[in-house]
Homo-oligomer: A and B are copies of this chain.
Amino acid sequence: MTDTEIADPWAVTSLEIFERLEETIAGEADHAVATVVDVDGSAYRRPGAKMLLGDDGSTFGGITAGCLEGPLQTIARDVIADQSPSVVTFDLTDDEDGWGLGLGCEGIVDVLVEPADDAWRDPVDAYAEGDPVALVTVVDGTESIPPGSRAVVDGDGTATESDSRPAIPDQILEQVRDDARERAADGRWTQRTVSIGEEELTLFVDGIEPADRLLIFGGQPDVRPVTRLARDVGFEVTVATARGGQAEESAFPRADRVVSTHPTELGELVDERTYVVVMSHNFLDDGLALESLLESDVPFIGLMGPRERFERLRDDLADEGISLSAADRKRIASPVGLDLGGGEPIEIALSIVSEALAVSNGREGGRLRDRKGPIHARQPTQSD
């Protein structure tokens, strides 16, 4: 947790939503979680987008560009009072006159509004631990299996229930277990309709990916804007300095943690969800850091500095008998950053953070207008 104020409670990241949710479920039962579960037509946020609403009218996050937050506050109050989940459909197709009120909120949006109750404890803990899960939630139910019935499925397919919600019967859960395991792995969503006797149930399978991590190796002032922007856009940020004296939390107020390490041990701080930027400005340290990272399974190693500097690093590695595999060349970004052309520290930071974000989403950072194919990730094809 960083020690700075939230600049804009509407534009918070998933990381901040889950941090706040953790605080919320530890307190009074006075908040609701709203999740987009289906979208037909144009909408600002995709399924899985979440916000928190308090019974005092407060909001944290936003799931539309200002269209539904008002009516959602009313619904949230009822959900909190009853501690009972609800699914609401907003039809915004009557664009200029309906809910949209000229705000251009187009499309039909289904929103699950549920209490921030104990059913959230496992997902919140998993998020904090860095473990992906999928929430399986009934969004169109029966009398005995009402909306909000919930199971949490982990990456192995193991399901857990909560006392605070009706359970989903095994025979139902079995039909979506594979979906749930896959959604835990890819963080995406699936809407599934399954049969139980003569009735039908609709389930929303919501992959919850923990926040990606950004590890910055370096301790100079130019690390600060990278730290700040990365935290702003939802990375959990660690600054690792090779100089004990510089590893001060206060120097990097937006970092989640600041550690002092030896570059040869950098690989011990990372995992397969850690994006790394090497920017110590020290050639020897950067080389040792690169060597250590190559032995890890990080998906991204960004190297600050000109191409020629990387070529020297690579030659030094070759002298030690270490050659880069095709996979290594793919994960190394040198020079680090998107091609934005700016030379100011904040512009360089923007370029670096934009690249890490693009790579974390499997994108290449060119202009959207030139992109072939859809802009948003689509619901994965249903497997049967």
- Can you identify 25 A-B contacts, CB atoms within 8 angstroms? A7-B228, A10-B221, A11-B228, A49-B343, A65-B220, A65-B221, A66-B221, A95-B283, A104-B282, A105-B281, A234-B347, A334-B369, A337-B368, A338-B367, A340-B358, A341-B358, A341-B363, A341-B377, A342-B361, A343-B376, A343-B377, A347-B357, A350-B357, A364-B366, A365-B366
Q: A357-B341, A365-B367 are in contact. Are A346 and B281 (CB under 8 A)?
A: no
Identical copies in the complex: 2
Interface size on A, residues (CB 8 A): 82
Contact status A368-B336, CB under 8 Å: yes
- By Cβ-Cβ distance, the 4 closest A-B pairs, closest first, are A341-B361, A104-B281, A11-B225, A341-B363
Q: A96-B284, A340-B365 are in contact. Are A220 and B66 (CB under 8 A)?
A: yes
A348 to B301, CA, bound (A): 24
Residues of chain A from 49 to 95 with CB closer than 8 A to chain B in the complex: 49, 62, 65-67, 95
A285 to B100, CA, bound (A): 14
Contact status A46-B343, CB under 8 Å: yes
| B contact residues around A14 at 8 Å (CB) | 344
Contact status A224-B8, CB under 8 Å: yes
Query: Do most interface residues of chain A lie in helix, strand or loop, or is the interface mixed?
Result: loop
Contact status A357-B335, CB under 8 Å: no
Q: Which of A11, A67, A225, A362 has the most CB of B within 10 A?
A: A11
A362 to B339, CA, bound (A): 10
Residue of B nearest to A349 (CB): B11
Contact status A339-B371, CB under 8 Å: yes
